[in-house]
Copies of this chain bind each other. A is one copy, B any other.
Amino acid sequence: MSAEKYQPLDRIFHPASIAIVGASTSTPETGWVGRLLKFGYKGNIFPINPKVNKINGLKAYPGICNVPYPIEYAILNVPARFTPQVMRDCAAKGVKFVHCYAAGFSETGTETGKRLEAEMVKIANEGGIRLLGPNCMGIYAPDSGMTFDEDFPKEKGRIAFVSQSGAEASRLVFLCQDINLHFSKVISYGNATDLDATDFLEYLAEDKDTNIVAIYLEGVNNGPRFLSAVRKCMAHKPLVILKAGLTENGAGAAISHTASMTGSRAVWEAFFKQTGAIPAQTMDEVADIIQGLARIKKPRGRRIAIIGRGGGIGVVATDICERAGLEVPPFSIETRQSLLQIIPEAGAGVRNPVETKIGTEGATEFYLKGLPIVDGDMETDAILIQMAIDVYGGHAPDLMQNVTESAYALCVAADSIKKPMAVVLFTGGHTDTIEAVTAARVILTEAGIAAFSGIEAAARAISKIYDYYRFLDIKM
What CA separation (Å) do A123 and B244 show in the bound complex? 62
Contact with B along A345-359 (1 / 0, CB 8 A): 111111111000000
Q: Are A257 and B349 in contact (CB under 8 A)?
A: yes
Q: Are A170 and B249 in contact (CB under 8 A)?
A: no
Q: Across the two chains, which residue of chain B brings its CB closest to A429?
A: B174
Q: Which residues of B contact A431 (CB under 8 A)?
A: 151, 174, 177-178
What CA separation (Å) do A320 and B250 show in the bound complex? 9
Q: Are B104 and A346 in contact (CB under 8 A)?
A: yes
**Does chain B have a CB within 8 A of A362?**
no
Q: Across the two chains, which residue of chain B brings its CB closest to A167?
A: B310
**Does chain B have a CB within 8 A of A330?**
yes
Q: Across the two chains, which residue of chain B brings its CB closest to A165?
A: B312
Q: Across the two chains, which residue of chain B brings its CB closest to A137?
A: B392
**Does chain B have a CB within 8 A of A50?**
no
- Which of A85-93, A277-285, A288-296 is the interface stretch? A277-285
Residue tally, chain A, CB below 8 Å to B: 85
**Does chain B have a CB within 8 A of A2?**
no
Q: Which residues of B contact A335 (CB under 8 A)?
A: none
From B165, B318, B329, A310 is in contact (CB under 8 Å) with: B165
Q: Are B245 and A313 in contact (CB under 8 A)?
A: no
Q: Which residues of B contact A177 (CB under 8 A)?
A: 429, 431
Q: Are A315 and B250 in contact (CB under 8 A)?
A: yes
What CA separation (Å) do A173 and B429 show in the bound complex? 8
Q: Are B218 and A253 in contact (CB under 8 A)?
A: no
**Does chain B have a CB within 8 A of A214?**
no
Q: Are A247 and B318 in contact (CB under 8 A)?
A: yes
**Does chain B have a CB within 8 A of A395?**
yes
Chain A residues 439-455 with CB under 8 Å of chain B are: 454-455
What CA separation (Å) do A144 and B91 show in the bound complex? 79
Q: Which residues of B contact A320 (CB under 8 A)?
A: 281-282
**Does chain B have a CB within 8 A of A405?**
no
**Does chain B have a CB within 8 A of A333?**
no
Q: A107-B311, A218-B315, A245-B315 are in contact. List 5 more A-B contacts (CB 8 A).
A: A167-B311, A170-B429, A171-B429, A245-B318, A256-B349
Q: Please, could you name 6 A-B residue pairs with CB atoms under 8 Å apart, sorted by A?
A: A170-B429, A174-B431, A249-B327, A250-B318, A250-B319, A253-B349
- Give the B-binding residues of A (Cβ under 8 A): 30, 79-80, 102-104, 107-108, 110, 113, 135, 149, 151, 163-168, 170-171, 173-175, 177-178, 216, 218, 242, 244-250, 252-254, 256-258, 281-284, 309-316, 318-320, 322-323, 327-330, 345-353, 391-393, 395-396, 428-431, 434, 454-456
